[in-house]
């Protein structure tokens, strides 16, 4: 794959920053922290993997992300 094709396959409107809290232990299923959609800067705290995935799904589904905070 060429560099141009790589850039097209990774659009920034599908990019997220996920920050796990200090006490999170992914291997044990203790998944909590904060997620932010890069393009919109909408973010939310999550306490479960389902909450994390729900935020990502909402962000990818359309322009109106239900969020905890926006910059």
Domain membership flag for residue 12:
yes
| 54 domain residue, yes or no | yes
The whole domain housing 24 covers: 3-61
Inside any domain, residue 11: yes
Identify whether 10 is part of a domain. Answer: yes
Tens-digit pLDDT profile for residues 19-35: 999 999 999 999 999 99
Task: Measure Cα distances from 43 to 16, 26, 32, 52, 55 in Å.
Answer: 9, 20, 13, 10, 8
List pLDDT tens digits, range 41-70: 999 999 999 999 999 999 999 765 555 554
Q: Is residue 13 part of a domain?
A: yes
Give the containing element (helix H, strand E) for 44. strand 43-46
| Residue 67 belongs to a domain | no
Give me the residue label for tokens 């993997």. Answer: 49
| pTM: predicted TM-score of the whole model, two decimal places | 0.77
Closest to 35 measured CA to CA, from 27, 22, 49: 49
């Amino acid at each position: 794959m060429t560099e141009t094709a790589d850039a097209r396959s990774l659009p920034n409107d599908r990019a997220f920053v996920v920050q796990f809290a200090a006490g999170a232990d992914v291997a044990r299923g203790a998944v909590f922290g904060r997620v932010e959609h890069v393009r919109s800067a909408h973010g939310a705290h999550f306490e479960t993997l389902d909450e994390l995935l729900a935020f990502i799904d909402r962000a990818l589904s359309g322009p109106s992300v239900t969020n905890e905070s926006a910059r």
